[in-house]
A and B are shown apart, each in its own frame.
Chain A
């Protein structure tokens, strides 16, 4: 189990090598170090996984060192190896490795190749800290670290000012959530006297339901999760985060970092179970986010923006599932979503690569023949996310929907509408990109090419995972085989205790969801393939609201950013210019005036200097005498 210590250290080594010596390394060697260390971490994770199973699946703490010792309280820098953290570790290192390999091809022409890999490795390091932590403080360290890496990578092409703005926006919005998180930690520490998972959860078990302290902690933690997992009202940073290179969008803003909020809630589900009010808030926020983001995604024309809003919407769906207590189903969808969303982003990256940087789907079209591998893998991703039967998304989404239906019909209606919209906008994206004729310029047409094998291989592997990832949670009990659900057996603690839906109604819900998805698919096909409709800039009615992204950015601009700027300007004029500046300047003027006076002594007369020295010594001696021998 000591091997677990090596898992986060390997990416850190990769970061140090690429970060310090990157300029002297050739591109192939820095790519090799970058992805090799992640592969090493993945192999270690696999070994630890096997050891864990062989040792009887007992949660183990592995301590690296004692971090903070304050009085009787020791906060150790240690890792917690259990089912949940092992799943997340495998996800982070596995998908992370594929995306590193993809980046070798995607970033090949970039001059800051080594810097990119250094950042990616640092991100994996912090993400591993986040999921492996055995207390909330180490988790928070990783939490802040991934936010920082996200900032670095969104602003990776720092020469474009808009990208820097996007990076700052992501960082600041995350900061709002982090404030909630850290306040939650303070309340937790004052309430339980510890931040250790085991101690906190053991203490919490003695609290009654809806205890105010527990409510405060859970709501504050949820605010943190909202920031990191891009939920209303803090989701606007995620679409802007698409300014980063596409592998970053796939790794950080789809597969791993944005799932940190979900991980946090699942990890501390003992607390959330005691706070039904917070659960209600989580479900409502998730539902609202899912629907809002899905409607925006349906009218976006930037290939990455569609996927970004889709991510927000899918995270919203997962939050609904968390809100009804279906933690295990939420984890299941988190996993499958990581597979197919990473696949879709990398596919989009491959398309953008072929289109020499063009991201507007109105200028694409007909890429089916030119990018065969990208096309096949992309359509698998679309089928998976839309919930078409026997692809991974079908199983995970329907499991979540069944749990939501069990809890609240209203939430189920919203979730189903979101899934239908998901199928619609994904196939809209697919048909606009790959069907009909090419709509770009001649120059782009000439340049079109399939991506190199370093990019297509990860696509193929992820496509396989996206297609068959559902195997982690086949609903075998529906066809009469009990206890064959892999995740359910693996994560027994996270089972939804209130689930009591009959198999018939579950099958009925499933058929309904499939009908909706196929219907949305056919609708998208009719509009965008057969009628060859192109989304235009002139929109009317309610579409204006969707295209304008519900004008959230404008609202924030008006009610938060403008007042803050005004406050800043007022402080600048009245405090800085009228108060602080004159005081500081007065000190300067005083020093100059005194200096001008005293410098009269320095006439260049050596005899006078000597006289000064002797007088000085005599004065000191006399003073000394007067003081000591009075």
Chain B
């Protein structure tokens, strides 16, 4: 454990933060700009994993395992979410022949 921690600490913490922020921003932009539901989905995964990366980095630098525990939770939830989300997407494609999110505008006031 100590060995891994010291290996991670070779790279300064700022780099991890920059990388995470970049990944997260890419995810946000993907959500905003792309209309394909599957791409939007992938963007969400990107954001989640950017956060995960940040958490393990902090965890390693602070020598506190709590952050890693959180990451496991996020992974589990994300996996469950992907399973349900992809199933929903399949059904949408089956019913409407498209996964364009702008076409999904029937649910409104």
**Is there an interface contact between B105 and A604, defined as CB atoms closer than 8 Å?**
yes
**Is there an interface contact between B102 and A607, defined as CB atoms closer than 8 Å?**
yes
Find residues 29-44 in chain B having any chain A CB closer than 8 Å to their own CB: 31-32, 35, 40
Closest chain B residue to A599, Cβ basis? B109
Closest chain A residue to B28, Cβ basis? A614
Closest chain A residue to B31, Cβ basis? A610
In whole Å, how far is B21's beta carbon from the nearest beta carbon of chain A?
12
**Is there an interface contact between A606 and B109, defined as CB atoms closer than 8 Å?**
no
Closest chain B residue to A617, Cβ basis? B28
**Is there an interface contact between A603 and B108, defined as CB atoms closer than 8 Å?**
yes
**Is there an interface contact between A614 and B32, defined as CB atoms closer than 8 Å?**
yes
In whole Å, how far is B16's beta carbon from the nearest beta carbon of chain A?
19
Q: Which residues of A contact B106 (CB under 8 A)?
A: 604
Closest chain A residue to B43, Cβ basis? A610
Closest chain B residue to A601, Cβ basis? B109
Find residues 545-604 in chain A having any chain B CB closer than 8 Å to their own CB: 599, 602-604
**Is there an interface contact between B108 and A602, defined as CB atoms closer than 8 Å?**
yes
Find residues 433-470 in chain A having any chain B CB closer than 8 Å to their own CB: none
Bound: A611/B28 CA distance, A: 9
**Is there an interface contact between A607 and B109, defined as CB atoms closer than 8 Å?**
no
Q: Which residues of B contact A599 (CB under 8 A)?
A: 109
Find residues 180-212 in chain A having any chain B CB closer than 8 Å to their own CB: none
**Is there an interface contact between A611 and B105, defined as CB atoms closer than 8 Å?**
no
Q: Report B22-56 CB contacts with A as 1/0, cut-off 8 Å.
A: 00000010011001000010000000000000000
Across the interface, B32 reaches (CB within 8 A) one of A603, A604, A611, namely A611
- Is residue A605 within 8 Å, beta carbon to beta carbon, of the partner chain? yes
User: How many residue pairs bridge A and B at CB < 8 Å?
Assistant: 27
Q: Which residues of B contact A604 (CB under 8 A)?
A: 104-108
In whole Å, how far is A227's beta carbon from the nearest beta carbon of chain B?
60
- Is residue B13 within 8 Å, beta carbon to beta carbon, of the partner chain? no
In whole Å, how far is A613's beta carbon from the nearest beta carbon of chain B?
9
In whole Å, how far is A609's beta carbon from the nearest beta carbon of chain B?
9
What is the size, in residues, of chain B's interface with A at 8 Å between Cβ atoms? 13
Bound: A27/B105 CA distance, A: 65
In whole Å, how far is B108's beta carbon from the nearest beta carbon of chain A?
3
Closest chain B residue to A600, Cβ basis? B109
- Is residue B77 within 8 Å, beta carbon to beta carbon, of the partner chain? no
Closest chain B residue to A615, Cβ basis? B32
In whole Å, how far is B99's beta carbon from the nearest beta carbon of chain A?
11
**Is there an interface contact between A610 and B32, defined as CB atoms closer than 8 Å?**
yes
Bound: A599/B108 CA distance, A: 9
- Is residue B76 within 8 Å, beta carbon to beta carbon, of the partner chain? no
**Is there an interface contact between B31 and A614, defined as CB atoms closer than 8 Å?**
yes
- Is residue B101 within 8 Å, beta carbon to beta carbon, of the partner chain? yes
Q: Which residues of B contact A614 (CB under 8 A)?
A: 28, 31-32
In whole Å, how far is A608's beta carbon from the nearest beta carbon of chain B?
9
Across the interface, B102 reaches (CB within 8 A) one of A602, A606, A611, namely A606
Bound: A363/B102 CA distance, A: 88
In whole Å, how far is B41's beta carbon from the nearest beta carbon of chain A?
12
Q: Which among A605, A607, A614 has the highest number of chain B CB atoms within 10 Å?
A: A607
Closest chain B residue to A614, Cβ basis? B28
**Is there an interface contact between B108 and A606, defined as CB atoms closer than 8 Å?**
no
* Selected A-B contacts with CB under 8 Å, 21 pairs: A599-B109, A602-B108, A602-B109, A603-B105, A604-B104, A604-B105, A604-B106, A604-B107, A605-B102, A605-B105, A606-B101, A606-B102, A607-B32, A607-B35, A607-B101, A610-B32, A610-B40, A611-B32, A614-B28, A614-B31, A614-B32
A interface residues with partner B (beta carbon < 8 Å): 599, 602-607, 610-611, 614
- Counting from the closest, the 6 A-B pairs by CB-CB distance are A604-B108, A604-B105, A606-B101, A599-B109, A602-B109, A610-B31
